[in-house]
Amino acid sequence: MDRFNWTSPVMGFILLGLSAHPKLEKMFFVLILLMYLVILLGNGVLILVTILDSRLHTPMYFFLGNLSFLDICYTTSSVPLILDSFLTPSKTIPFSACAVQMFLSFAMGATECVLLGMMAFDRYVAICNPLRYPVVMSKAAYVPMAASSWAAGSMTATVQTSLAMRLPFCGDNIINHFTCEILAVLKLACADISINVISMAVANVIFLGIPVLFISVSYVFIIATILRIPSAEGRKKAFSTCSAHLTVVVIFYGTILFMYGKPKSKDPHGADKQDVSDKLTSLFYGVVTPMLNPIIYSLRNKDVKAAVRNLVLHKHFIQ
């Protein structure tokens, strides 16, 4: 009998996570919870200072505020689910909740790809065309740029999620992941997923390939311009304005390339170890990167450090 004749609608999924490693679950619950609190605190403080400190009302810090808000949204869409799976023996998630979680994670990830490209353009104009910077990066320009990042991320997430969740699922409904990660869900489909593969390939080109190319070209011009600055102090000052962004870009895209670019093991005995490694790498991408972003921008940016100091002193003075 054809397999499609006996498929039934899936009411929910089971998230496997690290259920085969209960000791790791307890350890990672404490670790991920602490990291999540640091993410909320660090990114929350960055959002506050970019709003409250008038000196930070510039395009670069507007994008930074968006990035911080995005990191909070991204981690909140998955971390509570991961923490709950570490504690409860029942790791089921309803079909509708899985779709919402998949949409939010995909939308935030795609938005961040575009937003990092926008931030690279901002640094390019600031360093390579400083005299035109106030005109090119006016409020009428950078607000729509940020809004288009969110819109583009939401649109591609809507397409990818709707294509994935319309598929029939049969047999095993166990997702071998912490969350409803789209690639893990597609493995459960009992229908042709060629359209999904093609649409994801197109999305990868648009949201990964093009931003990486754009950022790379921008930094070629930025570095060339910095090297032409005669004084060492001038070169150092110019590079310091973009070093934090460059560090975030390397961590963000480096983790993605490591996750999806490394070869898969053909040894069945090493499959389990690689499976755990893939899950932990995904966890790094989803939690550690958003935690590092505010730390990197705080350590490498004098304006942010001064704004945070003023915020703390102001709060202390009020008390």
pLDDT tens, residue by residue, 72-82: 999 999 899 88
Residue 260's pLDDT band (cuts 50, 70, 90)? low
**pLDDT tens figures, 172-227:** 788 888 888 888 888 888 888 999 999 999 999 999 899 999 999 999 999 999 99
Identify which has the larger pLDDT, 158 or 297. Answer: 158
The letter for the amino acid at 134 is: P
Q: What pTM does this model have?
A: 0.86
In contact, 146 and 62? CB cutoff 8 Å: yes
**pLDDT tens figures, 67-110:** 999 999 999 998 998 888 888 766 788 889 999 999 999 999 99
Least confident of 31-35, 115-119, 305-309: 305-309
Question: What is the predicted pLDDT for the residue at 110?
Answer: 93
Distance CA 170, CA 76 (A): 30
